[in-house]
A and B are shown apart, each in its own frame.
Chain A
Amino acid sequence: MKLRWTPQFKILVVLCLFMLWASINYQNNGAYFVLFLLVSLVVTSCFMAWVNLRRLNITCQSEVDAFCDSELSLALHVENTGNRLMEALHVEIADWELLEATEEIEFVEPGSALTHRLTIPTEQRGRYRVQEIVVSSCFPIGFWRSEKRFPVDVTLTVYPKPAGDQPWPEDTEPDESHQDEFSSHSGDHFAGHRAYQPGESQRHVDWKAFSRGKGMLIKDYRGGGSGCVRFDMSAMSGGDVEQKLSQLTRWVVQAFRDNVDFVLALPDGQMGPARGQRHYEACLRALAVYGQAGRQT
């Protein structure tokens, strides 16, 4: 735990010297009193600043992920194990150059804990590591800044942003069951509506329902096909790598939503065919770190 003065402190020193000069020149006891009171106030506040963070404890979850351009929320468990109110905490991630993530916690009651969600804006896909959380406070009057560092080990995964409007790839292993050329959902029949989730393709939005004011609804197609879709990066045309990754992410999300088997083929490996949560997350992670293996922040 560190305690050091702030820039304001230096200005205060100048102010106090000026006050001392005036007090001496006018031999004015009132002026001396004001000066000494101010000096003592600063000394006393030093203890308060030190005590403030002394019983702070922070732990946090080890893995967080989000799509790029959305907000990543890192839940911190902030605990005050002391018996004093802890105030004006300033939480940030140490050596975090890429993202600006600083936040204020107004207070933590003595002997209690709270969960603070550190919101981190995401701008670039990839995998990041957070190794240290820094909590500082200028409480109570800002001339001293106490700082406490907490070693943590969090992996933040930022997936590529789902985007792109390339056509849905054809099933590579067509099923024997009935095919309808006119439907993009080969053979699946309409199974009802469900709510639109952000990040999903707008291809299946029921725009007619939307225009009737029912909100964004997705036409769900079920059954029939148990076909397997292949998302192959090398087979894609046009656009740079990032655009391709975005398109792939979009397809993966769509495939997961539609609950179909899919294969993700990247130049450095292939995943699947499979379906379900695990496969989905593994694919997204592979997309997040594609081409930047070992990169850490």
Chain B
Amino acid sequence: MLERILREKGLRVDWEAYRRLTSALAEELEWARELRRKEADWSYIESRPEPLRSALEKLVETGDLKLVSRLYSIPLEELNEERIRARIPLVVVSLSESGATHT
């Protein structure tokens, strides 16, 4: 379905690479989500007023700072400062399948 829609829009995508990379990325994103859940300072998050509390909870789940900033109408820089206080890591992930070492 996705392929058909994007083809109709004139996007030329290397679908084999796309499937391979998105599969590797999905594993990394799940790992990152678990890390955020584990490392977040939940007592700090729960102490924050709304909508900050919900925004920080959403940030733990998604890791997507800009998306959460838009969803909750919280300025990006303010949300990022709150993120750091709440000890929610921003995780830079890999797109490689096995994490093979490159030299």
Say whether A associates with B: no
What is B's interface to A at a CB cutoff of 8 Å? none
